[in-house]
Amino acid sequence: MNAILTTHDLAVGYMHGKQVTTLLQGLNLTLNAGELVALLGQNGAGKSTLLRALTCAARPVGGSIALKGKDVTEMSQHERSRIIGLVSTERIMAGALTVRELVGLGRQPHTGFLGRMSSHDREIVEAALHDVGIAGKADNYVSELSDGERQKAMIAKALAQETPVIVLDEPTAFLDAASRIETMNLLATLAHDRGKAILLTTHDISRSLLLTDALWLITKERTVVTGPTKEMVASSVMNEVFTSQAVRFNPATCDYESC
Amino acid sequence: MNGGRSHRFTIVTVALVAVLLLLVVLNLLCGSVDIESSAVWKILTGGSSGNQAWDTIIMQSRVPMIITALLAGAALAISGLLLQTTFNNPLAGPSILGVSSGAGLGVAVIMLALGGNVGSVFGASVGSYIATLLGAFAGAALVLVILIVFSSIVRSSTMLLIVGILVSYLTSSVVQLLNSVATEEGVHNYVSWGFGTFSGVSLDQMPVYATLIVAGLVASVLMVKPLNALLLGTRYAENLGINTHRTRSLLLLITGVLTAVVTAFCGPIGFLGLVVPHIARLTLGTSNHSALMPVTMLAGADVALLCTWVSVAGKYGVIPINAITPIIGVPIIIYIILNRRKIQYFN
């Protein structure tokens, strides 16, 4: 296995002035190339905080993160932008860009000072549009897209960025059933056929269990248990996620249900 | 840009340049004194019309006014564009966010508190207008710092606009207080400055004025790449390798310089900075800054020259610029607010 992202004794949380609140600690995580991983946990457990730390949007409160074996604090923002691509739920103001222009922004880490694209850059943008299946809408405005198409466009942006790692925060959150399935299938393809290391958070548990290779579970004990999805589903660890006594994990349906 | 839309960019640019040339001609020919077009042409090509007064009016008054208006329009429009992208707020602009008021406060402090003798922006010694300029920049910078602090505490863009309006109230009350202690001459100078005019830059001051504005405009063009990344919001922009903290500071510095220079020389010109970026987006149909930037500059110059022409074309003397800009600006803003669901860049 080719580990791209690793953490050593990582602790994440937030700082309020001088007061530090630690949400998760002692994390030794590994994200491998060609692997689709879901980060699961109940609301408030620290999923977003962990993602923010892994994408260097927030400083961890302890431990270290390495990309391709190099500590992230020793890397420039520009260097990191060529290794991790992000798809978040942040509201964007890009409605008046075409889909092609939006995906083209993914080339920014590779273009020069003025952001001018070479023919090579353009080819990569076209390939990314094609790979996510949105090439037919390349000349449409982003504002004309459905939520599912917009999500695909943002994934194409991350593909155009040509990063070995793609991190997605709730990629299926605002999508209808069909778009959820399409998006998850697309991510599985990108991991398995393209060798991307993909980490995502989701509340769509049953689907993520079907398609992912590994799980990172945030347990009630405020730590992260990791393992191949098949083994995790078969073990009792799935019941360590939710504090509620009213739900249990059913391995037969691969979903939580009331007891 | 590709296909149909790069075509659209060409058409819009050519049209704006044509309108610009037309307005330059109109502004050369129109004014309180009628000067024949053949005489104007003779004077511009280096000769003399044989009428000393006409020579002076064209070379010392109309030509500097046209250059002043052209640069001021471009500068304010670009300030508006940079503020709208920086604060992720389509209704931001140098006057509505109080940046112009801040610059005005700086001017007032120099003009009123330091006495009428340092006073006039119009004419006077080199030292006096440099002092006014520095005052304006200090005032604009102060307001920008306040806006940065508030935007990091309250994330709501509506609240930021309200903070801008409050800052304007506060500066105008400070100016009133300064008025009560100032000399009559100082107050007079300040009041006539407040009307807004593009006739305030003399030929001696032109090099300083033009250099500062052109520098600000060139710097803005160099920011096209990070500006486009900022359309995706802070987190995406950082993931694309943009240092958003440094980028925002640079953008606000450019805005501060552009707004301060225009405000010091021409008065607090309203609406232009808010409206022109919208005219550019609506005609181009894009928020891509590589197309938006040149078109915003051209459209800003056009609108400023249009205001100048309206202000001098009448037979009843010069109308203040600030009496004209709202007539152009308010209908456009209302149109944008009413159609915000249909306009792509809101969605």
C-beta of residue A215 within 8 angstroms of C-beta of residue A202: no
**Which residues are CB-neighbours of A237 under 8 A, at least 6 positions away?**
A217, A219, A225, A227
Collect all residues of chain A within an 8 Å Cβ-Cβ radius of residue B344.
95-96, 141-144
Interface ipTM:
0.92
CA distance B229 to chain A (A): 7
Q: Is the pLDDT assigned to residue B310 strictly greater than 80?
A: yes
Torsions phi, psi for A106 (to 5 deg): -60, -20
Range of the domain at B196: 4-346
Place of tokens 């605002």: A174
pLDDT band at A1 (very low <50, low <70, confident <90, very high): low
Q: A114, B222: Cβ pair inside 8 Å?
A: yes
Closest-CA distance of chain B to residue A188, Å: 22
The pLDDT assigned to B129 comes to: 77
pLDDT for position B296? 97
DSSP letter for each residue of chain A: --EEEEEEEEEEEEEETTEEEEEEEEE--EEETT-EEEEE--TTSSHHHHHHHHTTSS--SEEEEEETTEEGGGS-HHHHTTTEEEE-----S-TTSBHHHHHHGGGTTTS-TT----HHHHHHHHHHHHHTT-GGGTTSBGGGS-HHHHHHHHHHHHHHTT-SEEEESSTTTT--HHHHHHHHHHHHHHHHHH--EEEEE-S-HHHHHHH-SEEEEE-TTSSEEEEEHHHHHHSGGGGGS---TTEEEETTTTEEEE-
Interface check for A161 against chain B (CB to CB < 8 A): the answer is yes
Residues of B in contact with A90 (CB under 8 A): 232-236
- Note the pTM of the prediction, 2 decimals: 0.91
Q: Residue A51 is encoded by which pair of tokens? A: 């993602």
SS3 B15: helix
Q: What's chain B's average pLDDT?
A: 87
Structural domains counted in chain B: 1
- Write the DSSP assignment of B215-280 as a string of letters: HHHHHHHTTHHHHHHHTT-HHHHHHTT--HHHHHHHHHHHHHHHHHHHHHHH----SHHHHHHHHH
What are the structure tokens assigned to B236, written together?
């995406």
Whether residue B131 contacts residue B115, with contact meaning beta carbons closer than 8 Å, is answered with: no
With pLDDT > 90 as the criterion, what percentage of chain B qualifies? 46
pLDDT at B75: 97
**Residues A57, B238: C-beta atoms closer than 8 Å:** yes
Instruction: For residue B180, count other CB atoms closer than 10 A to its CB.
Output: 8
CATH number, residue B56: 1.10.3470.10
How far apart are the CA of A36 and the nearest CA of chain B, in angstroms? Answer: 20
Best residue in B2, B222, B236 to probe A by mutation, most A CBs within 10 Å?
B236
Per-residue pLDDT of A167-187, as tens digits, reads 999 998 888 888 889 899 999
Torsion angle, CA of B325/B329/B148/A62, rounded to 10 degrees?
Answer: -160
From-to residues of CATH 3.40.50.300 in chain A = 3-83+163-258
Query: Which residues 148-207 on chain B approach chain A with CB closer than 8 angstroms?
Result: none
Q: Which amino acid is at A218?
A: I
Q: Work out the minimum CA distance from A84 to partner chain B, whole angstroms.
A: 8
- Measure in Å the smallest separation between the Cα of A250 and chain B Cα atoms: 37
C-alpha span between A55 and B235 (Å, rounded): 10
Quick check: B1 pLDDT over 60? Answer: no
| Averaged pLDDT for residues B113-139 | 66
B224 CB neighbours in chain A (<8 A) are 114-115
At B3 the pLDDT is: 53
Q: What is the mean pLDDT of residues B259-265?
A: 92
Distant-in-sequence, close-in-space partners of B335: CB < 8 Å, separation ≥ 6 = none
- Which of A97, A107, A142, A163 is most worth mutating to test chain B (most B CB atoms within 10 A of its CB)? A97
Q: Tell me the C-alpha to C-alpha distance, in Å, between residue A186 and each of A125, A130, A135, A198, B90.
A: 17, 12, 15, 11, 35
Domain A3-83+163-258 has CATH 3.90.850.10: no
Residues 61-90, chain B, touching A (beta carbon < 8 A): 85, 88
* A69-101 confidence digits (pLDDT tens): 999 999 999 999 999 999 998 878 888 999 999
A161 to B240: CB separation less than 8 angstroms, yes or no? yes
Q: Do A90 and B2 touch (CB under 8 A)?
A: no
Q: For residues B8 and B218, give the distance between their C-alpha atoms in angstroms, rounded to a whole number.
A: 24
The DSSP secondary-structure symbol of B345 reads G
Burial class (CB in 10 A: 0-12, 13-18, 19+), B235: middle
- Residue B222: list chain A partners with CB under 8 A: 113-114
Q: Which residue, among B83, B239, B246, B290, would best test binding to A if mutated, counting the most A CBs under 10 Å from its CB?
A: B239
* 8 Å CB contact of B225 and A108: yes
Q: For residue A85, list chain B residues with Cβ-Cβ distance below 8 A.
A: 239
